[in-house]
Structure 1
């Protein structure tokens, strides 16, 4: 470290860590409530899946014949730095949790390393241990994996960002998240500081330092690349740091020999660029794993020493991609990695027909997916979170608006008449806002506290009546003032009542497209709820405006009431998403069955599946796809 501000590594700063506060915080609950239990299970599954789908694990599954995970154990070594003292090398085999538990660190730790050095894997290994502790002790906080790449300038502080990110990633209701942060019932594990745009990194560091003095009772861990961290104006106010060191010659040789790739060691050993102590590809566990997995496809130009380090990395990525695409496909839709039994079962399955034999098309689809992940500053993407603003050209926007408008017009035509419905639908589709939000967490909140329950109902009923009054005055110009006010107030009352009853509980996604399916389900539920009120409105029209037959009142009232409720409950979100998927397919940006394609890419070793979302096995591979294969 240089002579910059070293407050981030001051182990004697009692303001940063207080054992008494920890004991005080942990002394409250004897058992976890339902929301905390759901969150803990979600984090547990996420950690298990990400570790199981890591490239280190894939080397073990595919190349190691002893069926012993220790044969390809993570090969890196670590140094620990406290305060102004020189960094000290950790003994071989030291677990990250041992450092985390040091009295002078107290769980407030910074993990640093080069790209692909294994920082995130260390963070996941720490999370795995912390999850086990939280399962054994209800007083312990729940570890949560949050990615700082989602930090944006509109966030005023870390606390408000955490609330939003807990909602987006784990489905935690805002008030629950605020309570957990206030009472320090979560243990933040923050990755991806270096993935922020350069101008936002310093702002984020400052926000973290403003937050840390208030976060005095519970540990917090941050993970970042060493090179980017060195240029910040000030260090993070943490008690110590772990620095992941480049692999030594002995570690590289041991790793390759255990992976049954002795010949690869002989090939790279004399290559001074690949074995460069500071910049060599082989010094990184990520690239070393890729060398092993792509060993059959490594081109001769990789060994040419006139190639730059950047060009060699590109060649290695291409070799890895081509090697993975050419592997026999055994069907990955039901493949769950993570245990010896499942690994052996997968290896014994016979190859089946590859559903995506055109490799260039696969790269192009994955390139578009990667570019949107970079553009939206999200490490994890959910199919239902694809947005219309991802479309970049006017023809694409026009086609999306046309498809959305036509479908919406047909739906509205059942209420307004076909002509009026199509006119309104096309206007909304072609001129409306280009964004989409699913209605996926609507649940009747009977388990919320009675005070909050009734307060929510009262608030939304008032809002609904005000909106209904305005609406009634408008339609009163057509059907008459009295009937207009009656219809408006009824609709406002119903909308307010429904919105007051529904609430958001923690609801972690565990399957593809879960948000869209939930939106459709919610639209059906809300549609059924609205049927009686649709009949009521038609009955009012019968008495005050236009006489109708009983059968006509029942039929039209049921249809119009259902469509009104369905639209409020998620039908519009489902239509928007369907229109976007059709547009992406028409322009060749995505396959028709996106879920099947992403599972295929997970099987190939490009993606990791986490719950109902997907993330690339490493940000560097994502950046490679985005740079070289984005068709937009």
Structure 2
């Protein structure tokens, strides 16, 4: 438990606690508001020399952040051709100043920063251990400013391994579990950037990351104060450098404040800056210029860089007579977004794979789902059964999943029966039995869903399975040979009392060794596979739905490996025992029989293992997609549609996921009515 910050007198100032970190200094000079501390004497351990693997991991993470957010989002933003120069002002009233309880600080009103000041300049001015809060109105460019900072920091980190690794996160997902920020960072590194938990834990605890946290205002309203408390605790415990973004009104409405060193607010554009931007675009915007010059409502909306860019894309070449006019700002905003949507449908005249009404319908559903779940980046494999809207859809989903799984077991029984009584007859019998059992289980599942109002089970993709054969062999030897020999000796001694020591001991050893080895090998293989299948998270999500495809590959690997290995071992063991007891020829018959039995049992064991290691997730995902498709919430090829929407500048691709080009556009779609 961390100690409470001390209140000290001037003569004890060198040993005071500021912002959650203890400072041991001979002199502490207060510079600008926010607690600049100079002439400090802090013992900093030099970073350890990186191994080759650690260096590769570092560079891989930097590359992912750069590709996902800088190249994928920042450089493809709405105004990447003509960059708007955003003005900044310091907002000391937005943070809890660590020096305010020790000495009297002057005016805490907003202070405009010099023209041309970049966010990287503000960050550098704070110094080591920098913590920065970026505020702004909706559409003012907060995320763009954060990504510009990420771009500059990544460039430094690529050249200097002593620099922290800047990583972009969105705080909206924190509200789901509301864990500590350290645990949440590890989980997000795993989910978004595919960093194994062990490596992520080391990056966080060893303070190698510089988290750039967007979307504090996207955390569910009832949890935002708790999120600020968690951020303050994280900073106090680790002394970590942090940058957080939030809409200013949502932040000001909270009772808690971030214990950061500096806060800046992005200024809205002036009319002069708006006119300069319109002149720089070079497109035919005469009608738009006229309305902005004449109407206050247009001027108010144009102060937002997002809305200004939306206007320029929606109204290029449109004469003033055809532009919307409304003296209510919110209604005018809605009309501008609607016009932007219609204009983007005409943005690409070729490759029209979908009707405009279909695209809008699917985007509305997607926006409503991600808004409800407080998601920012949408991954196809992260769709969940509780996204289904009504009870009928949920019942259909559960019934089809149960039916599919039991039919797979029916097919497996058919293969087993086919090996014994002919393939065609066995398959028919197995499928009929599987279908009957599947219908019973499926109907029972459906009745359960009628009673259950919600489907709460999540679809969880699995990790890459790396087989550790050393552990498997250890389990096989310990569980197989040792148990088998012990069982043989015990049975031999029992038989020796009845038939004579030598005969009983020989027979007992044969029977006990055979039974013990089969039992031991079964146990050893199962435990060995479980221990040997070491998990490291899927390497990277560079293509949509890659997590499901990886899960399918893992399921097939486990099923075949478990089934074939088990069948081969049992067959060899039975053949060996038969050969020792009755001779070589009979042993060959025993070998074939053992292989048959082992293969049948092994395939069943492999099927169970495959379902546990990705197979069930694949079935659930497929059935969920099927239900959503037949209810017209998604198209058949969802990844192709998402790329289509990104081509029309509704979405942007982030690695293997997708985001709306801006939260305001997502909110606009989410507020629209989903028609049948």
Alignment map for 1:560-571 (pairs within 5 Å): 560-571=604-615
Q: Does 1:512 align with 2:510?
A: no
Q: Tell me the distance in 1 between the aligned counterparts of 2:573 and 2:391.
A: 45
Identify which of 184, 191, 208 aligns with 2:231: 208
Q: Tell me the distance in 2 between the aligned counterparts of 1:500 and 1:198.
A: 43
Q: Tell me the distance in 2 between the aligned counterparts of 1:359 and 1:299.
A: 26
Alignment map for 1:598-609 (pairs within 5 Å): 598-609=642-653
Residues 13/523 of structure 1: CA separation in 2 closer, same or farther (3 Å cut): same
Structure 2 residue aligned with 1:268: 292
For 1:172, what is the secondary structure of its paired residue? coil
Q: Does 1:80 align with 2:103?
A: no
Q: Tell me the distance in 2 between the aligned counterparts of 1:313 and 1:615.
A: 21
Residues 116-156 of structure 1, C-alpha deviation per residue, up to 9 Å, x if partnerless?
Answer: 00000000010011111111011222111111111126434
Stretch moving more, 44-53 or 102-111: 102-111
Identify which of 532, 550, 565 aligns with 1:532: 565
Q: Tell me the distance in 1 between the aligned counterparts of 2:608 and 2:129.
A: 55
**8 Å contact kept, 1:111–1:244:** yes
Q: CA RMSD in A?
A: 3.6
Q: Does 1:36 align with 2:67?
A: no
Structure 2 residue aligned with 1:65: none
Identify which of 625, 649, 658 aligns with 1:581: 625
Q: Tell me the distance in 2 between the aligned counterparts of 1:524 and 1:85.
A: 63
Structure 1 residue aligned with 2:353: 355
Q: Tell me the distance in 2 between the aligned counterparts of 1:172 and 1:34.
A: 12
TM-score by structure 1 length?
0.79
Structure 1 residue aligned with 2:426: none
Q: Tell me the distance in 2 between the aligned counterparts of 1:230 and 1:485.
A: 71
Residues 551/24 of structure 1: CA separation in 2 closer, same or farther (3 Å cut): closer
TM-score by structure 2 length?
0.74
Residues 427-479 of structure 1, C-alpha deviation per residue, up to 9 Å, x if partnerless?
Answer: 36645964211124333479xxxxxx979x98xx99xxxxxxxxxxxxxxxxx
Alignment map for 1:586-625 (pairs within 5 Å): 586-625=630-669
Q: Tell me the distance in 1 between the aligned counterparts of 2:615 and 2:78.
A: 40
Residues 153/602 of structure 1: CA separation in 2 closer, same or farther (3 Å cut): closer
Structure 2 residue aligned with 1:421: 434
Structure 2 residue aligned with 1:344: none
Q: Tell me the distance in 2 between the aligned counterparts of 1:106 and 1:440.
A: 35
Residues 553/226 of structure 1: CA separation in 2 closer, same or farther (3 Å cut): same
Stretch moving more, 171-180 or 99-108: 99-108
Identify which of 520, 525, 532 aligns with 1:494: 525
Stretch moving more, 85-94 or 368-377: 85-94
Alignment map for 1:330-341 (pairs within 5 Å): none
Q: Tell me the distance in 1 between the aligned counterparts of 2:171 and 2:114.
A: 31
For 1:614, what is the secondary structure of its paired residue? strand
For 1:362, what is the secondary structure of its paired residue? helix
Stretch moving more, 509-518 or 265-274: 265-274
Residues 532/29 of structure 1: CA separation in 2 closer, same or farther (3 Å cut): closer
**8 Å contact kept, 1:363–1:629:** no
Q: Tell me the distance in 2 between the aligned counterparts of 1:81 and 1:106.
A: 19
**8 Å contact kept, 1:123–1:223:** yes
Residues 208-243 of structure 1, C-alpha deviation per residue, up to 9 Å, x if partnerless?
Answer: 112212232x42100011111112223211111121
Unaligned runs of 5+ in 1: 1-5, 61-71, 330-351, 447-452, 463-481
Q: Does 1:325 align with 2:345?
A: yes
Q: Tell me the distance in 2 between the aligned counterparts of 1:49 and 1:273.
A: 33
For 1:442, what is the secondary structure of its paired residue? strand
Q: CA deviation at 1:505?
A: 4.6
Stretch moving more, 265-274 or 430-439: 430-439
**8 Å contact kept, 1:11–1:240:** yes
**8 Å contact kept, 2:62–2:166:** yes
Q: Does 1:98 align with 2:121?
A: yes
Equivalent residues, number: 555
Alignment map for 1:432-443 (pairs within 5 Å): 434-443=457-466
**8 Å contact kept, 2:380–2:657:** yes
Q: Tell me the distance in 2 between the aligned counterparts of 1:171 and 1:319.
A: 38
Structure 2 residue aligned with 1:229: 251
Structure 1 residue aligned with 2:45: 24
Q: Tell me the distance in 1 between the aligned counterparts of 2:34 and 2:152.
A: 23
Q: Does 1:310 align with 2:342?
A: no
For 1:151, what is the secondary structure of its paired residue? helix
Q: Tell me the distance in 2 between the aligned counterparts of 1:413 and 1:257.
A: 70
Residues 258/495 of structure 1: CA separation in 2 closer, same or farther (3 Å cut): farther
Identify which of 174, 181, 194 aligns with 1:158: 181
Q: Tell me the distance in 1 between the aligned counterparts of 2:520 and 2:594.
A: 23
Alignment map for 1:55-454 (pairs within 5 Å): 55-57=78-80, 60=81, 72-82=82-92, 84-103=107-126, 107-152=130-175, 154-216=177-239, 218-259=240-281, 260=283, 261-275=285-299, 280-296=300-316, 303-306=324-327, 308-329=328-349, 352-356=350-354, 358-416=355-413, 417-422=430-435, 425=438, 427=441, 430=446, 434-444=457-467
Residues 621/423 of structure 1: CA separation in 2 closer, same or farther (3 Å cut): farther
For 2:89, what is the secondary structure of its paired residue? strand
Q: CA deviation at 1:33?
A: 3.2
CA radius of gyration, larger in: 2
**8 Å contact kept, 1:35–1:506:** no
Q: CA deviation at 1:100?
A: 0.8
Stretch moving more, 191-200 or 419-428: 419-428
Residues 302/157 of structure 1: CA separation in 2 closer, same or farther (3 Å cut): farther
Higher relative contact order (CA 8 A, sep 6+): 1
Q: Tell me the distance in 1 between the aligned counterparts of 2:617 and 2:407.
A: 15
**8 Å contact kept, 2:120–2:149:** yes
Q: CA deviation at 1:569?
A: 2.7
